[in-house]
Amino acid sequence: MNASEAIQASYLTTGLSKEDVELLSGVAEVRHITRDTEIIRHGDTSGDVFVLVDGRASVLTATGDSVAEPEPGAVVGEIALLDYGPRTATVVARAGATVAVLPERRLRTLMGEHPSLELGLLRNLARALCAKMRASASELERFHFMLG
């Protein structure tokens, strides 16, 4: 999978026109990340969004606990599109990885120039965040049930 294919495989492009997908892919920068190198650092305030093209990565909490292992096509750091706050997790390449970086400045400019792209990206982001919230709520319910 190359960077353009990974972006197209991500949830970010669901329902976008071919032209909008091409615009989005056009701003991507490919980075090769060596093993055990941070892709995103907890607390950092950068707003870049990353799509995993290949390799392995782990999402770590502030205490270093692994909470997810994104697969190629996964999007990480996407909350930055909505929130200028600090990063809430660290993402580390585990066996080396290639990522498509959507630089914040270029992405925001592109979104401002192409309202259909902006609307589609924000809609897809909202759907993904809702799905994550539902999964978290379900997990909390299960945890509370187990505590009895």
**CA–CA separation, 116 and 142 (whole Å):** 39
Please report the pLDDT score of residue 142 as a whole number: 67
pLDDT for 143 equals 62
Domain ranges of the chain: 3-147
Residues of the chain with pLDDT under 50: none
Angle, helices 104-113/115-147, rounded to nearest 10 degrees: 120
pLDDT at 83: 84
Q: In the block, which residue shows the tokens 């897809």? A: 124
pLDDT of residue 13: 95
Question: What is the Cβ-side half-sphere exposure of residue 17, based on CA atoms within 13 angstroms?
Answer: 9
How far is Cα 101 from Cα 76, in angstroms, rounded to an integer? 10
CATH architecture of the domain 3-147 equals: Sandwich (2.60)
Residue 52 forms beta bridges with which residues?
Answer: 99
Q: What is the per-residue burial (b if ≥16 Cβ within 10 Å, else e) of 96-128?
A: ebbbbbbbbeebeebbeebeebbebbeebbeeb
CA end-to-end span of the chain, whole Å?
46
Q: What is the pLDDT of residue 62?
A: 86
Amino acid identity of 92? V
Q: Which of 30, 22, 12, 120 is nearest to 74 (CA)?
A: 12
- pLDDT single digits (tens) 80-95: 888 888 998 999 999 8
Structure confidence at residue 1 (pLDDT): 85
* Tokens 């909008």, residue located: 20
- Length of the chain equals 148
* pLDDT value for 79: 86
